[in-house]
Structure 1
Amino acid sequence: MTTAPENLERRDPRVDAFIAALPDWQQDICVHVRELVHAADPAVAETIKRTKQPYFVLDGNICAFLAAKDHVNVFLYDGGIVPDPDGIITAGHDNKTARTVAFRQGDAIPVQALTAMFRQIIADNRAGGWRKLKPGR
């Protein structure tokens, strides 16, 4: 994947450093998912929160990375309201803030399903965020 010039200015060198410090297979996952979230909307920006975690934001959190010993977690900040018709969510099904998609070495990244979720989270953020949109609130 190549990075569009307009997205380069929304890149954070601290996220580059986070990714560079990972084992090669985790770097591959993070680079691919990073490209997907930026491709979902060119206005997506990166930052570091919680002292070292990469976050992708646009009118609120979209997702974050957490690398563990044997997998990479991609936290989706959607309050559980974004549909998961492809069943890519691996943890946090009942979490009120974020759900997780975990990738292990050799796992294929579900490009279409993950991109659709990123786009829906961005749309929800632009509409006021999942807290405002969540039924019963």
Structure 2
Amino acid sequence: MTETVAEEIDGIIASQPNWRGETLAELRALILDAYPEIREAVKWKMPSKPLGSPTWEANGIVCVADFLKNAVRLTFPKGAQVPDPSKLFNARLDSKVARAIDFIDGDNFDRGQLKLLIRAAVEVNE
């Protein structure tokens, strides 16, 4: 039986039975709520990362999630073009193209502003 993409992402979340998994589950729900037409995918499976990376797409990649040692990172491949008036981007700020947000244990971030950022990233792809 072949796993669906949703089941693969559920497995990636379950692989981190701590705050990282909980954070990714919350981020996933926010992304899906922000833009219900977004498609989920799992990309970049390799020996060092056999489960791959959860990815959300709408006319191209909107964002990619990764587990870091002390953070859950959402990378926006076209983030440099995405307006960020709330200054959510806090990583890869020196990149000419991408931007990222590192979420650490206990982070209190503005969920409404993250949804607006997701929608803006979708618009950049259109």
Q: Which residue type is aligned with residue 123 of structure 1?
A: E
Whole-angstrom CA distance in 2 between matches of 1:101 and 1:79: 10
Identity %: 27
* Residue of structure 1 equivalent to 2:39: 45
- Three-state SS of the structure 2 residue aligned to 1:17 is helix
Q: Give the 5 Å matches for 1:28-107.
A: 28-51=22-45, 52-107=52-107
49-58 or 22-31: bigger deviation: 22-31
How many residues are matched?
117
TM-score (norm 2): 0.85
Q: Which residue of 2 aligns with 1:21?
A: 15
Q: Describe the shift of the 1:49–1:11 C-alpha distance in structure 2 as closer, same or farther (beyond 3 A).
A: closer
Gaps of 5+ in 2: 46-51
Deviation of residue 98 (structure 1)? 1.7
- CA contact 1:40–1:118 (8 Å) conserved in 2: yes
TM-score, length-scaled by structure 1 = 0.78
Partner of 1:120: 120
Aligned-pair Cα RMSD in Å: 1.6
Offset at residue 96 of structure 1 (A): 2.9
What corresponds to 1:135 in structure 2? none
